[in-house]
Amino acid sequence: MMGMLFFILLAHVLVVGRSEPTQSWPERGGLEAEGEELGSVDSALVHMTEDKVFQLINASLSFQWAKRFCSSQFSVLTAKQMAEDEEGALLLLRQSQLKEPIWVMDPNKPLDRESVPVSKQYKVLPTLSFSPESKEGHARLDTHFPPLQAVTVCARVQWDQRHNQVSTIFSYAAPVFINEFQLRGRADGADRQVLLALIVHGHHCPYKASFPSDGDWHQVCVSWRNSDGLWAIHVDGEMRDTGTRTDTTREIYGEGIFIVGQDQDSFGGDFTEPFVGNITDLNVWNVTLKEDQIRTLKACRPLENQDSIFSWNSQNFTLNPDAKTVHANIYCPGLLSQRQNEECDVLEGWSSQSTPQYSRLPCSQDLPFVCRTSKNRYLAMKELKEAQSYRPSPFMSHLMQISGDSQVMEEPQAAMSWDQASQLLNVSQQALSETQEPLEAADMLSLMQILSRAAEVPAVANESRPAAELLSQQFITVADNIISSDNAHMWDVVKEVASGPMSVVRSIDRMVTNLNPLLIADRDSVQIQSNNIKLQVQQRNLGETSESSNFCGPHSGNKTGPDCISLSSQQMQELQSNGFRKVTLLNTWYGSLHQIFNTDENIITFPDVSDGSQRSLGTVLGSSVISSTVLGDGQPISMPVRFQLQHKAQNPIGFVYQPICAFWDFNLMPEDGGSWSSYGCEVLSTQEDSTTCSCNHTTNFALLLQIYEVERSPEDERALQMLTFTGCGVSLCGLIFTLILFTAVGVPKSDRTTVHKNLIVALALGQLLLMFSDWASTNHEACMLVTALLHLFFMASFSWMLVEGLLLWSKVVSVNISEERRMRFYYALGWGLPIVIVTVTLTVSLNKYKAETHCWLNIESNIIWAFVGPVLFVLAVNTVVLCRVVMVTVSSARRRAKMLSPSCASKPHTFDLTWAATRPVLILLPVLGLTWLCGVLVHTSPVVAYLFIILNAFQGLYIFLVYAVYNSEVRNAIRRIQEKRKALSFTNCSQPISFLPSQRTPAAFWAQSLPIPSSLESSESSCPASSTTSSSLVFKNESFRKDSFVSFSLKPSSGNQVVELTAFKPSGC
């Protein structure tokens, strides 16, 4: 008895022939030998491979129910076009000799189709509008009516809520009988309903059918047939009233007048019961429409092969001046009907070439199917089942004792009945409350399967709201026991079989979605709560209010308040403007799941980039789970939500947590029940004990906390920040002075000087923005602008560093390109390429471009590679250039050493070669950007971090010293300015003297003919072996003192004469 009841509750292998006994199935044949352990029923239906188990379910279900059944068994449907699945399904079909097709899923489509949002569908129709002031407003159909053996009239009606009098929606009067066919309505203020009554042959039917007086559009169809006098009233696709008490001796007279919006006390006149509201989409048929045809009209789809007497599309009517024609947006739930008729994939069999044959059939058709699971999971479940059969747990023993022999899960069925679900949940709740011993792993699996099946109970119309609330409370109580922190240790065993605690969350979502119409049948809100779960269902009429929606979990005593999730009033107004009338909000809070999730299980690894101050240790679930589902007019819709969750973990010394806004995606890793994802979610703000997030959809949300071990102390961080700010300030000053010197002192123009200037401008602008970037971090728009400019100018800095390398390469390796063409290429590379990179990056990923807490690129996504990638390329190229320069320099130094006399070498040969290799490295490091190479090792040690800051924050100062202070061109330009000033001062004290030789006399001859003063000596050569000659030109002036003279010294240098001016200022000046 115990083993049989457990088999019923657990229902692991639920495959029963529909019309033949189990024994009639063929022998196992080619099944795996490992199946020998199974019983005769199991082994004929299960196939094991090396790591998978396939189970043929020979009970026909629709595609959606087949998926749900496999999910309840912690498995999934087999997928098409997957070799292993095809092989397993083929073997099972051959062994069972099953000729029917089986369901298969498309691996490229989401597994959980129920979570896919459904968009609102509308149709714009011309509408007759009747105002309260109009007493004569009506429309007359310009159509000939023959005698009618049957008739159906359908229209969409929007009743004015202010009107509470009896009104006639339409009336048909014949010449021989006035009240031939008429539909009347009256408002019932107490119940806020509009009651409908049909008049046929003058017989007034009772006011029984109704629709809500809510200002919304409602479809009304009335029909009658002469054969049996049957009449019916359908409202919104459902029959609301019917009867046969009419005169069946005659048909409806022809040649009549059909009036919309008024009754007829005489043929075509004497209007006394005006309609107030709007009417559209009125059509008349001379047959009685079937219910499926009426539902088709409700979905705004045309009837096939069914002609009408009057079609609204023809607009063939005469309008009274008191009535108006307007256009209205009509909600059409056509998408729901399409989903009911959509087709799904099936495996029909194999061709003669042993290739699988796939086709598509309506998803609502009942077919067998194959579930697939992992071998380890299947064997673990089998082991738990056998252990429970031989030695039931205290909970299971008590459950079987109080349940009797109720076989409520005997076979896979489309849905558990209300009574079965209520009975099973009741005994489960009772056994949980009365059993003192803790639950075992098999108990939790059984309860999870009970919840999975009970969640599919439909909202039966004849069940009351208290019954639905009781069933929901029992469901929540059982679920609370499963995910209680007391059972956290058991989940390590359960996870080998089940898909984790989020499967319980999924069952709760399905249960409340199914039962919400009953839960809020006569009120706007209901709340169900247990120790760890809080559930709330709200319904709002968007015509009455568009306020924001807020749902919060229990108060926890935190200063920032409880966990909350909200939809803004703007979102509510958008729903109303899109035509939605009612919105249902299903919100749930789970307070114990963070204690169940293991730190290294079911947690997705997010991209992690460390700046060296912290080392990532992993990610944990660090908050409660809160969920939101939005139903607009009964359809699931996806909307942006905002939520605030409290941190459940404290920051110990030496560790920090970085919150990540995430949601549980059931379509990720479906065999494992899903996984966490952060797609579409972002952090809005973070406080000490809470984080506020925003996501662009509705589902189950939580905070994942990325754990970092602090590798640099706060003192190091402050010191590095201060050093960075100081270094950038000094560097900026150095760059500005360098640019001023290059511009003001008249450094000879060259491509090398132009490249230097552009590099200095890009670096200066980048470091200036970097110094003040923290001030913009509080404003999102300003911070985004600063981030883009920082990206641009630092990218331009490295681009010009690349240009520096290419220019240097062209000097070392002869490149035959004109200077003009070369500079155009350099400008395109230095400024054009960074602009393109920044523009493309912003266009592709604007929402993920900026970091959350500071004004720089987002290092938690791939956006950072829009900067790091080009930088690494520049550094690689410039490293090659530097190595080539060092090789050329050392080679030149060796050749020069061989040419020089040993007596001229004042230093050892080794020192010359070392200096020849070191000198270009020291000179080229700042402009080639190679100091950034140490950034790769910045996370290894604080010492490397300090070195990196010093080398790069003071880059501008280094450029100022090397390329301005110790640059011979700059120093010569300054010297020329000084000499020019001295010469100008000299000419102000004496008569002008022509220092230039006559053009008639060659300069060399003129210089050689002048006496050379003995007081002037030449000391230009430092090597006796290398002699040079020099000449001086001396000019006497009577106004000069004796010791005053002006001389020119001419000396040959590399074949060209250099004139050196020496001027001594007279003492009298």
Q: What is the mean pLDDT of residues 854-877?
A: 82
In the prediction, which pLDDT does 1032 show? 39
Residue 4 pLDDT level (bands cut at 50, 70, 90): very low
d(CA 900, CA 355): 85
pLDDT tens across 333-377, in order? 654 444 455 788 999 887 777 788 889 988 888 899 999 988 888
d(CA 984, CA 995): 14
Structure tokens at 961: 């010293």
Residue 579 pLDDT level (bands cut at 50, 70, 90): low
pLDDT tens across 164-178, in order? 889 999 999 999 888
pLDDT tens across 258-285, in order? 999 999 988 988 888 999 999 999 999 9
Q: What is the mean pLDDT of residues 126-140?
A: 88
User: For 403-412, 723-732, 892-901, which range has the lowest pLDDT when averaged over its residues?
Assistant: 403-412
In the prediction, which pLDDT does 710 show? 57
In the prediction, which pLDDT does 833 show? 92
Residue 600 has pLDDT above 70, yes or no: no
Return the higher-pLDDT residue of 646 and 386: 646
| Average pLDDT in the chain | 76
In the prediction, which pLDDT does 369 show? 92
**Where do runs of H (alpha helix) occur along 483-568?**
491-494, 502-519
Residue 192 has pLDDT above 50, yes or no: yes
Return the higher-pLDDT residue of 561 and 424: 424
- DSSP assigned state of 1021: -
pLDDT tens across 500-537, in order? 888 899 999 989 988 888 888 778 889 999 999 999 99
Q: CA angle, corner 118, sides to 459 and 563, nearest 5?
A: 75
Return the higher-pLDDT residue of 443 and 650: 443
d(CA 750, CA 733): 24
SS (H, E, C) 400-411: HHHHCCCCCCCC
Q: In terms of DSSP bridges, do strands 193-200 and 177-188 run parallel, antiparallel, or are they unpaired?
A: antiparallel
The proportion of the chain whose per-residue pLDDT surpasses 90, expressed as a percent, equals: 17
Q: What is the mean pLDDT of residues 310-329?
A: 87
Q: Compute CA 259 distance to the chain's CA centroid, rounded to the nearest angstrom.
A: 54
**Collapsed DSSP state (helix, strand, coil) of residue 854:** coil
d(CA 468, CA 116): 26
In the prediction, which pLDDT does 1056 show? 38
Contact between 728 and 771 (Cβ < 8 Å): yes
Crossing angle between the packed helical segments 819-827 and 751-771, to the nearest 10 degrees:
10
d(CA 36, CA 13): 15
In the prediction, which pLDDT does 938 show? 55
In the prediction, which pLDDT does 556 show? 67
The proportion of the chain whose per-residue pLDDT surpasses 70, expressed as a percent, equals: 73
In the prediction, which pLDDT does 61 show? 87
Using alpha carbons, select from 487, 530, 525, 488 the residue that is nearest to residue 508: 530
User: For 298-312, 379-393, 477-491, 1034-1048, which range has the lowest pLDDT when averaged over its residues?
Assistant: 1034-1048
- Which residue type sits at 348? E
Cα dihedral sign for 790, 793, 795, 801? negative
pLDDT tens across 17-73, in order? 333 333 333 333 333 333 333 333 333 488 888 889 999 987 888 888 888 888 877
d(CA 300, CA 293): 11
In the prediction, which pLDDT does 278 show? 93
Residue 960 has pLDDT above 50, yes or no: yes
Q: What is the mean pLDDT of residues 904-917?
A: 56
pLDDT tens across 655-687, in order? 677 888 999 988 777 777 788 888 889 999 988
Residue whose tokens read 């410039």: 878
The number of CA neighbours under 13 Å toward the Cβ of 97 is 8
Residue 89 has pLDDT above 90, yes or no: no
In the prediction, which pLDDT does 69 show? 84
- Which residue type sits at 176? V
E strands in 640-742: 641-646, 655-665, 675-677, 681-686, 690-695, 700-710
Return the higher-pLDDT residue of 608 and 68: 68
Return the higher-pLDDT residue of 202 and 749: 202
Residue whose tokens read 């115990």: 2
Exposure pattern of 476-515 as b/e (b: 16+ CB <10 Å)? Answer: bbbbbbbbbeebbebbebbbbbbbbbbbbbbbbbbbbbbb
Residue whose tokens read 């501008």: 956
Return the higher-pLDDT residue of 691 and 119: 691
Q: What is the mean pLDDT of residues 588-615?
A: 62
